[in-house]
Amino acid sequence: MGLLDDRVAIITGASKGIGRVMSQRFAAEGAKVVCAARTAALVEETASSIAKGGGQAIAVVADVATEDGARRVVERALDAFGAIHILVNNAGDGGPTLPVQDYPLEDWYYTINSCLTSSYLCTRFAVPAMIQAGGGAIINISSVAGRRGLPYRVGYCAAKAGQVGMVYGLALELARYDIRVNAIAPGAVEGERIDRVIAGQAAIRGVPVEEMRRAFVERAPLRRMATPEDIAALAVFLASDLARNVSGQCIAVSAGETGV
């Protein structure tokens, strides 16, 4: 018996990193997983890896920052599995590392849309099916950067803060339907994305990359980075009945860095 048996879960940004690991973990807990991302080869490989492990998954190639893309993911989920119980809004690009006076408007829009508008659109289209299913769970993958900030990443910080604001409002709005809404705020998470962030911060501050990496680790009280598996474990909990009375929360997974 898995914690998510007989549930249908949409996970966006499922092609790599946290999204890929969450997709695999959800499937291992019994969920039927709809893996959504823009890069066909990568998202199809995620779904294939689940099938090889005995789970159920489909890949949907879509840009969920667009209405057509978000709607298509929801429609494919319903066509394949007949219901939607869980939505994990994980898709999003980090945007550039630049001083605000040099931060292009097109990059601002792109970052806000990829992280925040995608969460809104997927939620908008998934909620009617979740109401029909009798309830469910929505999880926004935010960031501690949306709570305590990160220099030279104004678009990313704004988008991630917006995801948390969505949670607070939607948790109240959707409670009548027994739909729980929460956010996870990762700190530094091992993988390619944090490597790019550290390199960007090092370059703009004029310090060696390894010095910047040490700074990222040392500001966490536990003196380590989180892993994608840590994020997936909390996401499974929040999606399951173990968290039936947890809603309207933003929980940091950050080796003790609270972000407040």
Q: Which residues are catalytic?
A: 156
Q: Which amino acid is at 207?
A: V
Pairwise CA distance, residues 171 & 148, whole Å: 22
Helices (H), the chain: 17-28, 40-52, 67-81, 105-112, 118-133, 145-148, 154-174, 192-205, 209-218, 228-239
Task: Provide the token pair at 259.
Answer: 């972000």
**Residues sharing a CB contact under 8 Å with residue 169, sequence separation 6 or more, in sequence order:** none
CA quadruple 138, 74, 91, 46: dihedral sign: positive
CA quadruple 107, 111, 117, 122: dihedral sign: positive
Pairwise CA distance, residues 8 & 139, whole Å: 14
DSSP 13: S
Instruction: Count helices and strands (H / E) in the chain.
Output: 10, 7
